[in-house]
Structure 1
Amino acid sequence: MTIADLRASVTGPVLTAEDDGYANELHTYNLTVVHTPSVVVGAMNPADVQAAVRYAAAHGLPVAVLGAGHGSSVPSAGAVLVTTRRLTGLTIDEPARTARVEAGVVWAELIEQAGKLGLAALNGSSPTVTVVSYTIGGGLGPFGRKHGYAADHVTALEVVTADGELRRVTAETEPDLFWALRGGKGNFGVVTAVEFTLFPIRTFYGGGIFFPGELAGEVLHLFRRWTADVPEEMSASVGLLHLPPLPFVPEPLRDRLVAHLRITYLGDPQEGARLIAPFRALGEPVIDAVAELPYTAIASVHSDPVDPLPLYEHGALLRALPAEAVDEILRRSGPFVLAEIRHMGGALSRPPAVPNAVGNRDDDTLYNVFLVAAGGPADAEPLHTAEQQLIDALAPWSTGRRYLNFMFAPDATPETAALAWSPADYPRLQAIKRRYDPANLFRINHNIPPS
């Protein structure tokens, strides 16, 4: 199959570096990863994805996938890159409380449509992340402690595997592949659509409270004590934010350090207010935006930036958060735009009704630390070093494992990537990889080698 043959068989654009539109097709949210594929296929439908995968297999090239580009994955140099933003199908079955979402749909679109029906999904913090990529990587969101990971509620996936076949995968049709796709991310094929359960959530009590930097230590230390016994209806995180003096930052928050408490409580708003009263008692906040909110306002909880940025990220899972760990975070967070502590546990620690490959979900995983720094190429090494130094300082309380959706380009060695999955599950993942992708066509990712 030649490039001409590929173009003749694909509805969407097929571009090489010599073609107009090639660079524009590769735009991504995280600007630190530059994609230079051999050919990029702008998929309009699953048949386009099939043609791209068959072309890659015929030429011995790896396949990469680019949605919104939030996770800074492995650069796609020399690969066949499939962009999914044109796969925009979204249907909601209101009586059944289910949704079918294609790979180009971002969370903002689903949140809006589901919210109009009084339904909610287990979305992430950012409205501009694609639903499919987030979900197959696990899906840790603002309702996680109550309802678990987004992957726990997937009922079917449509995926193009390395043989170029489009498969509809369920627990009944291909149970091993169904298990692996929910938590194995892009290792087993190009997922073109997912179907999952929705929840009857019209409103929640939540939002964010921004405290001035001088209260940061009190906020973080209260958070570690407070999370010891809050109910699982309460999902929460706290972030140290060093915000720049830029127009997209609200004026009271510009060019200053703040501690940002983010909560979602699925219960009586009065009880939610009682639960967070100790934080409000600490002192005058810069902004207090916690209230009873409609589900459609869920993105306001974290208020993640929506414009592309050059980001360097790192993370760790902790089994404990003693005062010493908080002190290390306070001491070493200066170089970062964000140093976040997210409370885990609850349904995130329990096995789902239909088991999946989402890793490291046990009672030992109580917190996730997530670090974000911003800068140009010259800043990469010092920022990565600073992030690693903080992660190393937290080693006494770390599980030594990682959460897949919070793993980025520096974590792409197979040895590091393996930390995203349970050691007991990893051999099964490799066996499924050997069965469905023995040539490791899908390796431009946090890869599970077939052997």
Structure 2
Amino acid sequence: MPDTNSAARHDLGSLGAQIRGRTLLPGDDGFEEACSGWLLTVRHRPAAVVVAADADDVAAAVRFAARTGRPVAVQSTGHGASVPADGAVFVATGELRELSVDPRARTARIGAGLRWDEVLGAAAEHGLAPLCGSSGHVGVMGYLTGGGLPLACRAYGFAADHVRSLDLVTADGRLRTVSPSEEPDLFWAVRGGKSNFGVVVAAEIELLPLTTVYGGELHYPGEDPGHAAHVLRSYLAWTEEQPEEMSSSVTLVRFPDAPQLPEEFRGRSLLQVRVLCTGGEEQGARLVEPLRALGPGKDTCGPMPYAQITEIYQDPKNPVTAHLRGALLRELDDEAVKELVSFVDPSAPGGPFPGIELRHLGGALNRPPRRPHAVSTQGAAFHLWMRLPAPAGQADTARKAADEVLERLRRWDTGATLPGFLFDHDSAPERVRRAYTEANHRRLAALKATYDPDRLFRINHTIAPA
């Protein structure tokens, strides 16, 4: 009988002859490392890994996958890992490192292997700034194709609003440049449709003339439910009065009494308010004053270089095993405050529930973008975001904790979410639908049928072809 495993390995090995970069098969040195990433909750077992050296490598990998009936998976940093890439041709884009800034046009051209901290640094040399999120270690392309919720979201809207063009390889193996004037439907779909329509290898984005902002964090003790409710209620009232220049969030944290934590956090409950004002030092200080009047135990707010804004959140840089969940919420009333505070009350049963973040929305997010895309807050007032540790053997515990939070907040849940905050729990079609308006989802499904009818790009939050 023929050795089918040997034949399959020979078939995959032939891919290497078409690739300038590296082609790795299971068992090869570097294979496990190449298909790992920041989020360790999802484990990949692809048939082959293509560490692409350029866009031609990506196109060759896509053509090979289509010819041999294998799906395509794509990853830069692995922050958005969602579906195991078992049996796939896994395209690692980390070596696509093109980066150039045009200070006169206020634009940057960015390769798919770059992280935001690299773009922040390059833009800052020219007094310019990209719209990034809370972590400088997140890959640029996954963030942009998910829409991108920036720290300065109320002032400037989604990062997808500020994308000028994208270079991507579609299911037919073609390298296309899409923009408002070139294949505008595909340009619309990729910004929000994530990896459903191809592998993005480069982007051109707008940069902002921002060098300094007013930002930082304020910490309040949360062990006393009455005091915690007062702080949270005051924060929510404060957000209603803020101009678009002020973006902010509040995170409710209940730390376990664990020896690996710094002593100042062990067994503690905290409310962490983070702010970012693009209107200058004087305005920022004036707007933050009511929060200071609440008596924070820690206050780092002040003028800071824009290039350092990701330090406000101090997101983990090393790989994590965590359960991640997002939701879009309506305006929150006193009953919502009581429910939220109960999650950090040390005397309450259940938990702990670390990292329940509420990001204030509105402002520019509610206005139609100049370059329409598939992302929308769907009228929500806050984005809820949870990151719950899920070490080996505790994944079910983390999922149940997240389920409990959302169940108890059901009255304020819009039923929608953002495509950039879909993870492994959200891979079912009905959950993917929640990330889009009904009209946008229909349009995405129709475009999926046009550009990827055979679902070559399905190792993701799949939008089924219409």
Where on the TM-score scale, by shorter chain, does this alignment land: which range? Answer: over 0.9
In structure 1, C-alpha distance between the alignment counterparts of 2:196 and 2:159, rounded to whole Å = 18
Instruction: Tell me if structure 2 keeps the 8 A contact 1:320–1:398.
Output: no
Q: Which aligned pairs between 1:179-328 and structure 2 lie closer than 5 A?
A: 179-214=188-223, 215-243=227-255, 252-253=264-265, 256-285=268-297, 287-328=298-339
In structure 1, C-alpha distance between the alignment counterparts of 2:456 and 2:257, rounded to whole Å = 44
2:54 aligned partner? 45
Structure 2 unaligned spans of 5+: 1-9, 345-350
* TM-score, normalised relative to structure 2: 0.93
Instruction: Tell me if structure 1 keeps the 8 A contact 2:256–2:352.
Output: no
The one-letter code sitting in structure 1 at the alignment partner of 2:51 is G
Alpha-carbon deviation of 1:243? 4.8
Instruction: Tell me if structure 2 keeps the 8 A contact 1:92–1:100.
Output: yes
In structure 2, C-alpha distance between the alignment counterparts of 1:248 and 1:196, rounded to whole Å = 41
SS at match of 2:165: strand
1:448 aligned partner? 463
Alpha-carbon deviation of 1:196? 0.9
Q: Does 1:384 align with 2:389?
A: no
- Larger mean Cα displacement after TM superposition, 306-315 or 1-10: 1-10
Instruction: Tell me if structure 1 keeps the 8 A contact 2:219–2:296.
Output: no
Instruction: Tell me if structure 2 keeps the 8 A contact 1:32–1:377.
Output: no
- Based on CA coordinates, which of the two structures has the bigger radius of gyration? 2
The equivalent position to 1:170 in structure 2, one of 164, 179, 185, is 179
1:91 aligned partner? 100
Instruction: Tell me if structure 2 keeps the 8 A contact 1:87–1:192.
Output: yes
Q: Does 1:150 align with 2:163?
A: no
Alpha-carbon deviation of 1:244? 6.7
Q: Does 1:134 align with 2:143?
A: yes
In structure 2, C-alpha distance between the alignment counterparts of 1:394 and 1:281, rounded to whole Å = 29
Instruction: Tell me if structure 2 keeps the 8 A contact 1:85–1:103.
Output: yes
Identity among equivalent pairs (%):
45
The one-letter code sitting in structure 2 at the alignment partner of 1:192 is V
The equivalent position to 2:417 in structure 1, one of 402, 420, 443, is 402
In structure 2, C-alpha distance between the alignment counterparts of 1:95 and 1:245, rounded to whole Å = 53
In structure 2, C-alpha distance between the alignment counterparts of 1:251 and 1:269, rounded to whole Å = 33
The equivalent position to 1:335 in structure 2, one of 352, 356, 375, is 352
Alpha-carbon deviation of 1:250? 6.5
The one-letter code sitting in structure 2 at the alignment partner of 1:354 is R
In structure 1, C-alpha distance between the alignment counterparts of 2:207 and 2:46, rounded to whole Å = 37
The one-letter code sitting in structure 1 at the alignment partner of 2:76 is G
- Larger mean Cα displacement after TM superposition, 220-229 or 142-151: 220-229
2:368 aligned partner? 351
Alpha-carbon deviation of 1:284? 4.1
Alpha-carbon deviation of 1:78? 1.0
The equivalent position to 2:118 in structure 1, one of 94, 99, 109, is 109
SS at match of 1:377: coil
In structure 2, C-alpha distance between the alignment counterparts of 1:249 and 1:149, rounded to whole Å = 34
- Larger mean Cα displacement after TM superposition, 425-434 or 209-218: 209-218
In structure 2, C-alpha distance between the alignment counterparts of 1:446 and 1:84, rounded to whole Å = 19
Alpha-carbon deviation of 1:221? 1.6
In structure 2, C-alpha distance between the alignment counterparts of 1:141 and 1:220, rounded to whole Å = 23
Alpha-carbon deviation of 1:58? 0.9
Instruction: Tell me if structure 2 keeps the 8 A contact 1:335–1:373.
Output: no
Instruction: Tell me if structure 2 keeps the 8 A contact 1:243–1:255.
Output: yes
- Larger mean Cα displacement after TM superposition, 37-46 or 249-258: 249-258
- Larger mean Cα displacement after TM superposition, 119-128 or 256-265: 256-265
Q: 1:433 to 1:284 in 2, by over 3 A?
A: closer
In structure 2, C-alpha distance between the alignment counterparts of 1:175 and 1:249, rounded to whole Å = 49
Instruction: Tell me if structure 1 keeps the 8 A contact 2:134–2:151.
Output: yes
Equivalent residue pairs, number: 448
In structure 2, C-alpha distance between the alignment counterparts of 1:416 and 1:319, rounded to whole Å = 19
Instruction: Tell me if structure 2 keeps the 8 A contact 1:159–1:192.
Output: yes
Q: Does 1:23 align with 2:32?
A: yes
Alpha-carbon deviation of 1:3? 2.1
The one-letter code sitting in structure 1 at the alignment partner of 2:293 is A
2:4 aligned partner? none
SS at match of 2:394: helix
Instruction: Tell me if structure 1 keeps the 8 A contact 2:217–2:275.
Output: yes
Instruction: Tell me if structure 2 keeps the 8 A contact 1:50–1:165.
Output: yes
In structure 1, C-alpha distance between the alignment counterparts of 2:352 and 2:276, rounded to whole Å = 28
Alpha-carbon deviation of 1:241? 2.7
Alpha-carbon deviation of 1:385? 1.3
Cα RMSD for the two superposed structures: 1.8
Instruction: Provide, for residues 386-426 of structure 1, a one-character-per-residue CA deviation record: whole Å limited to 9, x for no partner.
Output: 11121122111111101111111010011110111110111
Instruction: Provide, for residues 269-326 of structure 1, a one-character-per-residue CA deviation record: whole Å limited to 9, x for no partner.
Output: 22222212122112241x2111011111111221111111111011210121112112
Q: 1:176 to 1:322 in 2, by over 3 A?
A: same
Alpha-carbon deviation of 1:114? 0.8
In structure 2, C-alpha distance between the alignment counterparts of 1:176 and 1:5, rounded to whole Å = 35
The one-letter code sitting in structure 2 at the alignment partner of 1:330 is V
In structure 2, C-alpha distance between the alignment counterparts of 1:328 and 1:396, rounded to whole Å = 11
In structure 1, C-alpha distance between the alignment counterparts of 2:402 and 2:449, rounded to whole Å = 35
Q: Does 1:393 align with 2:408?
A: yes
Alpha-carbon deviation of 1:73? 1.1
